[in-house]
Amino acid sequence: MMPETAEAVVLAETWFSPALNRAKRVHVVLPADHRDGRSYPVLFLLHGYGGDRGTWLRNTGLLRHAAALGLIVVLPESGRRWFINDHQGYRYEDYLVHELVPAVDRAFPVHGGRAGRGIAGFSMGGAAAVFQALRHPSVFAAAASLGGAFGAPLRAGDPYAAHRGEPGLLMPTVASHERVWGAPGSATRLGYHPGELLDRYDRSLPVGLYVDVGADDYDRVLRMNRRMREALRERGIEHEYHERPGGHDWAYVAGALPPALDFVRRRLAPAASETRP
């Protein structure tokens, strides 16, 4: 049984992915009145490392927040594959951008254009959301990252070695990381290098960018988010940046998610009378 409130419903959809050569399931959060003839803005919300399509539903008040903002929210999953076209040939970026986005446009009352479409995520998903928005500004008009792992393409060795004995640590080992990203200097890493993506930023298709991190997050994560802020400032790219109390956990996300959703919602076209046949 999917979670449901008086304000929102959750549907499970399954579509075959040619890019991945397998069927993929997603959860879709809809306003309870989504059959009222209006088209809605849509947010693709990406989970963190090792998560799945149910992670946000189990750990946050997403249903309440999305309903209050009049958002349709799509919850895909990539396990530990980072939502990218990776070193081992898994094409999660192609699936997300070129298959799932149009499938959602066809199946649900969304605006169906970049003006009404955003992407966001936590940790792995936060970095992936910003990377994909920068790589595909004609698809996404806004991107929000919570505790984003922006340094993933630059990582060498195991910067979390000192934390390996801590319960609940969900950071990839060297072997797991390099299965996705390849060794340092790989073509995959270069394709998602944050500095390179920002250097190629298309100012004719501005993306609303929101970066948020917990002040008590892992030192590496806090530093990489601050570096992203500085990189955006140096290039004169408009963005919002926030540090708030919290670590790399769901308690932090509970406080960070509502303002991030509000940012995305303000950057997207509002719900409107349906014009599609």
Q: For 173-194, write each residue's pLDDT tens digit.
A: 888 899 999 999 999 999 999 9
**Residue 129 clears pLDDT 70, i.e. is over it:** yes
Structure tokens at 11: 């549907």
**How far is the C-alpha of 256 from the C-alpha of 51, rounded, in Å?**
18
> Residue 139 class from Cβ within 10 Å (0-12 exposed, 13-18 middle, 19+ buried)?
buried
**Residue 49 clears pLDDT 50, i.e. is over it:** yes
CA dihedral over 71, 77, 81, 86, signed as positive or negative = negative
Q: For 213-265, write each residue's pLDDT tens digit.
A: 999 999 999 999 999 999 999 999 999 999 999 999 999 999 999 999 999 99
- Spatial CA neighbour of 130 closest among 38, 197, 39, 53: 197
- Quick count: other Cβ atoms within 10 Å of Cβ 137? 19
Ordered by where they begin, the domains of the chain are 8-273 (3.40.50.1820)
Residue keyed to tokens 């040939």: 89
- Reduced to 3 states (helix: H, G, I; strand: E, B; else coil), residue 79 is coil
What number of H helices and E strands is found in the chain?
10, 10
**How far is the C-alpha of 41 from the C-alpha of 104, rounded, in Å?**
11
**How far is the C-alpha of 50 from the C-alpha of 109, rounded, in Å?**
30
Residue 22 CB contacts under 8 Å (≥ 6 apart), including other chains? 16
Say which range, 4-13, 36-45, 48-57, 230-239, has the weakest mean pLDDT: 4-13
pTM value > 0.85 = yes
The 10 Å CB-count burial string (b at 16+, else e) for 13-45 is: beeebebbeeebebbbbbbeebeeebbbbbbbb
The pLDDT value given to residue 158: 85
The CA-atom distances, in angstroms, between 113 and each of 31, 74, 110, 133, 225 are: 19, 15, 8, 14, 29
- Better-scored residue on pLDDT, 70 or 276: 70
With residue 118 as reference, give the H or E element that holds it. strand 117-122
Q: What is the mean pLDDT of residues 104-126?
A: 95
With residue 193 as reference, give the H or E element that holds it. none
**Residue 277 clears pLDDT 50, i.e. is over it:** no
**For helices 62-69 and 250-267, angle between their N-to-C axes, nearest 10 degrees:** 10
Q: What is the residue-averaged pLDDT of the chain?
A: 93
Q: With beta carbons less than 8 A apart as the criterion, state whether 123 and 222 touch.
A: no
Structure tokens at 263: 């940012």
